[in-house]
Structure 1
Amino acid sequence: MKIRLIFLFLIFAFQFASGQLIDKNWNRIALSKDENFLKSAEAKRIAENVILYQKNNGGWEKNKSINRELSSTEKKKLLDSKNDFSGTTIDNNATSQEMKFLANVYRFQPDEKYRAAFLKGIEYLFTAQYENGGWPQFFPLQKNYSSHITFNDNAMANVLFLFQEMINEGEKYPIKIPSETLGKIKNSFDKGIDVILKTQYKQNGKLTVWCAQHDEFSLFPAKARAYELPSLSGKESAKLTLLLMSLKNPSKEIINAVEHAVHWFQETKITGFKEVRIENDKHLIADKNAEPIWARFSDLETNEPFFSDRDGIRKKTYEEIGAERRNGYAWFTDEPEEVLKKYESWKKKNVKTVEDKNFYTVSKDGSGDFSNIQDAIDQCRSFPYERITIFVKNGIYNEKVVLHQWNTNIKILGEDREKTVIRFNDYFAKIDRARNSTFFTPTFLVEANDTVLENLTIENSAGEVGQAIALSIVSNRVAVMSCQILGNQDTLYLDNEGKIYIKNSYIEGTTDFIFGSATAYFENCEIHSKKNSFITAPSTPQNAEFGFVFNQCKLTADENISQVFLGRPWRIYAKSVFMNSNFGNHITEKRWDNWNKTEAESTAFFAEYNNSGKSSEVKNRVSWSKQLSKRQARNYTKENVLKDDFKRNWYENL
């Protein structure tokens, strides 16, 4: 017996040293990091098999023993079936594990065939992903439950962990990935994380965890096979939570998702019982020393575990279902235990306790109090007596920001106007919320009174796709100082009859890119037109004394722009005045347009005074526009335009 053991040990040692793996399980071989094996002829042989099994759409089928020796007949059959895409999938580790194996072999045995197959796999994953960020189980889609967003058996999590590895390693990744492809991977990864956050199930408004699959349209928990009913999944939710916990500099939304998932795991763990086999049949027996376990399926509203046979009828215990399903399915899991073990160190690193104060710092690199702007705003006291300053360090902040009504008396101060960028890309058709979709598009929305924005670039990066607001101000006593407001149509929305002061700023757009009902005073600003169209579109209320007033501003345009109107009336009592400003020659002689509203010619007030530049002196203005006299112009002072009965001279010493 002793001699036999020594003999077996020597065989194992020889196989290990020569790069041969005794393990014949493809799922484990695919993830091997053993250097001796990956350098071996055996690894090269298996890599050739991986390429043979890859379909022409870039994906692989599941449950294939790719590592086994293939006959010439089998190889020919695989080549002949390259265009059969019916089984390509991310289920049961398929596609992601084959790609990982190719990358690991390529590190020690670089072959362009492996790299090409790997990149083809990436393209398959791009194509298979839904626009909302989810992945179906199979692609091309099948006409069954597999078209749902598939978290089941960690299918989607495996893809995202693979993408995360490529992103994190960058140039150190074994296979060189083109920079353009890497950018797409980052975008695909972000969309995947976004849909995970959106599918986290709420019980009475409180976040819990996830179902094994979610409807690809509504994002609600969905049914799969007859015994896989809509539920909260202990198994799949663990992997999704670990994925969120692995993210660097997590946003407040991600932290919130993890915190609630962990709470759910803590509340639903089953203690004092363990699963055992007795005479080849599963049973749950009492054992006070047993490690905690979780049910695979829990009720969406009560969190109670349930079980089901192939008839789809819910049962309270798996003793109530047939032996075939009871023994042929994993009804319990211990995977959430890994989440709980890692939680405290994760929390210590990522969940900061921030004291109430009047100055916070936001920094992309995590060196500030917060890594994104909205989290800093949400930390601020409601309706503070003293101004709170949020200092934003240089960086591109891809987020929608809202200063809510209760976030009064806040100053958002950028480190450098050119380098502190807040950017998002919502637009009318993307929002798709009927006729008022425009008002849901802002990158930055100010609902709070007594706000100051300074040294910031605020951009809607959607491009020329219709209405897309960069900055929306629907409150009172708001100052925008030394900022860049970038967009196209509807760049800057100023509304709700508030008083707004905009100074030393650059504002660009195409059509109606300064619009709304507020009273606003623009001082020493550059107003840049990117298209032959209209600058202002006021909707001034009938009883308002002033609308938009531009003083000492400079009107510029892109090259070959020659027919720009100063404004047109969004509503018939519109008011817009340009004074002491410099006009480029792109401003049309007509100056103003009535927007096909002839009645507005007698109700709107569009006027000019003492402007300069190539197109400032013309005789062809529309007859219904106004030229202010010196006496009238004296009324258009900053003090008069911005006066507020509640706070006099609020615009000074900001």
Structure 2
Amino acid sequence: MHLKKLIILFLCLCSFAVQSQNEYKRWSDIIRKSDASWFASAEAKKIAENVLLYQRDIGGWPKNIQMQQELTEKQKKDLIALKKTDAETTTDNGATCQEMLFMSRMYAQVKDERYATSFLKGLNYLLEAQYANGGWPQFYPLKKGYYTHITYNDDSMVNILNVIRNIGDETDYYSIKPSKEIVEKCKKSFEKGIDCILKTQYKQNGVLTAWCAQHDEITLAPANARAFELASLSGYESAKIVLLLMSIEKPSPEIVTAVKNAVAWFEKTKITNLQEKRVLNDAGKINDKKMIPTQNAAPLWARFMDLETNEPFFCDRDGIKKKSLDQIGAERRNGYSWYTDAPKEVLKKFPDWAVKNGTRVGASEKKIVNYITVAQDGSGDYTKIQDAVYATPAFPYEKVTIYIKNGIYNEKVRIPEWNTNVVLKGESKENTIITFDDNFSKIGLGRNSTFYTYTLLVEGDDCSVSNLTIKNTSGERGQAIALSVVANRVKVSNCKLLGNQDTLYLSGKDAKQYFKDCYIEGTTDFIFGGATALFENCTIHSIKSSYITAASTPEGTPFGFVFKDCKLTANPEAKDVYLGRPWRIYAKTVFINCEMGKQIKPEGWENWSKPEAEKKAFYAEYNCSGEGFQPSKRVNWSHQLSKKEVAQYSIENILKDKIAKWYFL
């Protein structure tokens, strides 16, 4: 019996080992995604022998090699014979740079000096391959044809510069530390590379725009590559170039100018009326690509754009420009990336970069970059948040960021229904504070006065709020809302929502709202309303004994308020706190994997003098913890979810909407 168990355990371990070995099938994934400890394994050491064999004596490696594949003895002999040659050594498709990273990760775990030597030979190869003007060819030693051009294609030069910079800055990214002489060489090499990038930025009618995938190594002009890769402005390669420039600390005025002009070009050339549809065969491979006209589609950029008109074009192997993807043959149509969304990352990071580097967005540029700064000291575009909201366009196609610098903004702010796609972003959660003191009695507009008491009101769909404190300072004077959200697809993250009764109101027809990493405090019913709302990793703090939630979920709505991985805390005087009561009888509130303090009453829930709610409301918990989690003492009409039931409470199900995964945007 004991032997049988050992055999089963051995088979399981073998199975695990095979599974682990095959987890990443692509060479690049093995390098970047494997755990650090894996590089000390026998499997890693075996692969390292292959990598050493593939490296030529000149220091570079060939491209598109799956180096983890086992070699025959003949293949090993052939590779040894090739080492003295410079056959196909390149930086294209990540070659050389990625093998250097592999050797660094190996050396960090196994102090085999062959790994360090291999890395340093690769570094010397990169330094030797650089042109005097700062650029790099695709192949070195030089190979006849377009391979001699300065190559931004597939991020080749950006990859090299990232390696060179890490060495020059003496970071800990690589485990192998070159000599001071090499470090100084890398610093100069990086400066030359950036200078080359600035000199190759294409001017269109005297205005800086973007870059081509290849530039002539002598004239620096845009250049052709393969027959279907004509000289053009590149939506893909330009994105990584700009991100590299934006990553430079204390950028020069020339770098700032280059970035701003490139961003303006990205805004000008984005495509928002097309969506790529990929048709797959039974094997899961792309059978066909089609561009479908779609209103308000997520932005795309063409890989190739005309140097003078910015119009996208497409080529077959005959090198003849075509205006649409469906005009070229299936082989090139499906075997090449003609569109990209890479510049989205640039546009996402640009607003913060602009503020950090003192490039205030002037009035003439707002329409281009969709960015407005609010600062009380006058250094922004406006001193009041509401004035910035008034300045945002109605129903814009792209996000409009209102960046709020630190300060206490004593104002009542409304983002109207027509101001969709607004990003309200504070400089810091602790020091960017929106505050007002309206309450039910002060408003005095009758029985519905509560809904006018907000400090911040969000009515526009597809808005996000982050890094802010939103506070109603009226104190215990009845209902007083800090944040009111009556819109769909609204995300609130890293915010503090402070108030007493009715701190947070959530509503809107079929509205879905997402709260992540927030601190929310109050007294009575301080999270209330009829929206579907997911709270993740939030702290829910009760100031006194009362009720946390008061949902008014509409009948037939699958989810109401869902709290996942939240922490329920309280002031010392708050000793008897209910999880919730039904504002309307179909209320739904669920707590999953939450930590509940001792302030939570054993019965958990209350019916608000509505006996019918005990049959129609849905209150539930799953796998919670803490002194306040007493499932056996809960009211008998509440529920403890099963493992099968809780599987339905995924973020995808709760916040499902026609806009795919909007909550990650």
> What is the CA-CA distance between 1:26 and the residue it aligns to?
0.4
Task: List per-residue Cα deviations over 1:259-285 (Å, max 9, x = no partner).
Answer: 111111111111131111247221100
- What secondary structure sits across from 1:31 in the alignment? helix
Quick one: distance in 2 between partners of 1:11 and 1:171? 35
Quick one: distance in 1 between partners of 2:14 and 2:163? 31
Alpha-carbon RMSD: 2.3
Match in the other structure for 2:116: 115
Mapping for residues 51-130 of structure 1, pairs under 5 Å: 51-130=52-131
Match in the other structure for 1:159: 160
Match in the other structure for 2:341: 334
Contact 1:211/1:231 (8 A) holds in 2: yes
Quick one: distance in 2 between partners of 1:326 and 1:274? 15
Quick one: distance in 1 between partners of 2:172 and 2:160? 19
Contact 1:63/1:92 (8 A) holds in 2: yes
Amino acid of the structure 2 residue aligned with 1:162 = V
Asked if 1:349 is matched to 2:356, the reply is: yes
Contact 1:149/1:216 (8 A) holds in 2: yes
Quick one: distance in 2 between partners of 1:354 and 1:290? 26
Amino acid of the structure 1 residue aligned with 2:277 = V
Amino acid of the structure 1 residue aligned with 2:298 = E
Quick one: distance in 1 between partners of 2:264 and 2:190? 26
More displaced stretch, 270-279 vs 205-214: 270-279
Quick one: distance in 1 between partners of 2:15 and 2:155? 34
Quick one: distance in 1 between partners of 2:359 and 2:270? 27
- What secondary structure sits across from 2:227 in the alignment? coil
Match in the other structure for 1:315: 322
> What is the CA-CA distance between 1:21 and the residue it aligns to?
5.1
Task: List per-residue Cα deviations over 1:538-573 (Å, max 9, x = no partner).
Answer: xxxxxxxxxxxxxxxxxxxxxxxxxxxxxxxxxxxx
- What secondary structure sits across from 1:239 in the alignment? helix
Match in the other structure for 1:511: none
Contact 1:19/1:37 (8 A) holds in 2: no
Quick one: distance in 1 between partners of 2:198 and 2:85? 34
Match in the other structure for 2:184: 183
- What secondary structure sits across from 2:133 in the alignment? coil
Match in the other structure for 1:480: none
Task: List per-residue Cα deviations over 1:593-632 (Å, max 9, x = no partner).
Answer: xxxxxxxxxxxxxxxxxxxxxxxxxxxxxxxxxxxxxxxx
Contact 2:37/2:109 (8 A) holds in 1: no
- What secondary structure sits across from 2:289 in the alignment? strand
Match in the other structure for 2:563: none
Quick one: distance in 2 between partners of 1:95 and 1:164? 16
Match in the other structure for 2:387: none
Q: TM-score scaled to structure 1, two decimals? A: 0.51
Match in the other structure for 2:365: none
Match in the other structure for 1:324: 331
Contact 1:91/1:138 (8 A) holds in 2: yes
Amino acid of the structure 1 residue aligned with 2:299 = P
How many residues matched?
347
Quick one: distance in 2 between partners of 1:20 and 1:169? 33
Task: List per-residue Cα deviations over 1:288-315 (Å, max 9, x = no partner).
Answer: 3532110000011111101111111111
Mapping for residues 245-394 of structure 1, pairs under 5 Å: 245-278=246-279, 280-288=287-295, 290-353=297-360
Change (3 A) 1:215 1:39: same
Amino acid of the structure 1 residue aligned with 2:333 = R
Amino acid of the structure 1 residue aligned with 2:168 = I
Task: List per-residue Cα deviations over 1:135-180 (Å, max 9, x = no partner).
Answer: 0000111110010000001111111111122233446741021110
Amino acid of the structure 2 residue aligned with 1:14 = F
Mapping for residues 429-448 of structure 1, pairs under 5 Å: none
Contact 2:90/2:96 (8 A) holds in 1: yes
- What secondary structure sits across from 2:169 in the alignment? helix
Mapping for residues 132-211 of structure 1, pairs under 5 Å: 132-170=133-171, 173-211=174-212
- What secondary structure sits across from 2:85 in the alignment? coil
Match in the other structure for 1:14: 16
Match in the other structure for 1:217: 218
More displaced stretch, 63-72 vs 257-266: 63-72
Task: List per-residue Cα deviations over 1:36-64 (Å, max 9, x = no partner).
Answer: 31221211211221111000110000011
Task: List per-residue Cα deviations over 1:79-112 (Å, max 9, x = no partner).
Answer: 1111221300000100000001101111111211
> What is the CA-CA distance between 1:15 and the residue it aligns to?
3.6
Quick one: distance in 2 between partners of 1:82 and 1:259? 45
- What secondary structure sits across from 1:274 in the alignment? strand
Change (3 A) 1:265 1:11: farther
Q: TM-score scaled to structure 2, two decimals? A: 0.50
Contact 1:104/1:174 (8 A) holds in 2: yes
Amino acid of the structure 1 residue aligned with 2:271 = I
Contact 1:306/1:317 (8 A) holds in 2: yes
Quick one: distance in 1 between partners of 2:145 and 2:17? 45
- What secondary structure sits across from 2:290 in the alignment? strand
Answer with 1 or 2: which has the greater Rg.
1
Contact 1:19/1:42 (8 A) holds in 2: no
Contact 1:21/1:37 (8 A) holds in 2: no
> What is the CA-CA distance between 1:353 and the residue it aligns to?
5.0
Mapping for residues 397-436 of structure 1, pairs under 5 Å: none
Which runs of 5 or more structure 1 residues have no equivalent in the other structure? 1-6, 356-654
Change (3 A) 1:224 1:12: farther
> What is the CA-CA distance between 1:320 and the residue it aligns to?
1.1
Quick one: distance in 2 between partners of 1:12 and 1:217? 57
> What is the CA-CA distance between 1:338 and the residue it aligns to?
1.0
